[in-house]
């Protein structure tokens, strides 16, 4: 699994990580080991680049919605 896809999944299931990401997205992405290209795609919400970088096909995930698997 790509580091980008792994981080995206963790952001949806780890409330503390999601909170950290809201405050310092670049720091969280750097700690996750994302490349410059991956960080740029996430920062710019570039769906086409994210899809390419993760290897995900259309319809397998949505970048414009956040699904949280934790209690707020």
Summarised one tens digit per residue, pLDDT across range 62-72 is: 545 555 656 65
Tokens 């919400």, located at residue: 45
pTM, to two decimals? 0.75
Kindly report, residue by residue over 9-32, the tens digit of the pLDDT.
899 889 999 999 999 999 999 999
Give residues with Cβ within 8 angstroms of 65, minimum separation 6: none
Average pLDDT value for the chain = 83
7-29 b/e with 16+ CB inside 10 Å = b?
bbeebbebeebbeebeeeeeebb
Give residues with Cβ within 8 angstroms of 10, minimum separation 6: 17, 32
């Amino acid at each position: 699994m790509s580091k980008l896809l792994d981080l995206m999944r963790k952001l949806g299931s780890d409330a503390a990580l999601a909170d950290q990401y809201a405050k310092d997205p670049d720091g969280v992405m750097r700690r996750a080991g994302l490349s410059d290209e991956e960080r740029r795609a996430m920062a710019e919400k570039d769906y086409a680049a994210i899809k390419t970088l993760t290897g995900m096909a259309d319809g397998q995930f949505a970048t414009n919605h956040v699904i949280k698997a934790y209690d707020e």
